[in-house]
Amino acid sequence: MPPRMLPEPTPETRHFWDGCKEGELRLQRCTSCSDSYFPPRPFCPKCGSRDVEVYKASGTGVLWSYVINMRPRPDMGTEPYAIAVVKLAEGPVMMTNIVDCPQTPEALQLDMPLKVSFAKQTDDITLPLFAPAGA
C-alpha cells in the first residue's frame, strides 16, 4: 500500500497541525466580530480583520454529510470508507473520516454526535478524525 496522502503545512496553517500533534483541535476566531472559521488563515473571512486568535476548540460536533467511497484510493486500503464532514460545535465544518464505527449507511446517521480522535501518521502529521461521541 502506498503511504497515505498527507498534508504539507504552510506558515498560515502550522498552528492547526501542531495542535493536532499535541492533541488539541485548534480553530481561529476574529477578535473583532467573534466569528469562528476554518480552514486556517491569518485574517477573518467574514470581516477582513487581521485581529484573530487561535483557540482550543471543544473537539465535538455532529455528522453533517458524507459519502462512502466504494472504490478505495490505493493509499487508503481496500475496504470502503466514509469521507465525512463534521459540523463542529463552534460552527465551522471540516472534512474528516469517522473511526470506531462501521462504514455503513445504517451506522452513519446524519446529526449523530461526534468527538475528535487524533490519529498519528508521522512525527510531523497527526490527522483529526472523529468517532461517535458515545464510543
Residues that bind another protein (CB under 8 A): 4-10, 13, 17, 38-39, 64-73, 75-76, 80-81, 83-85, 93-97, 105, 110-111, 127
SS3 label, residue 76: helix
Dihedrals phi, psi of 46, to nearest 5 degrees? -90, -45
Give the number of residues written for the chain.
135
Widest distance between CA atoms in the chain: 47
The three three-digit cell numbers of residue 24, written as one number: 488539541
What CA–CA distance (Å, rounded) separates 117 from 127? 8
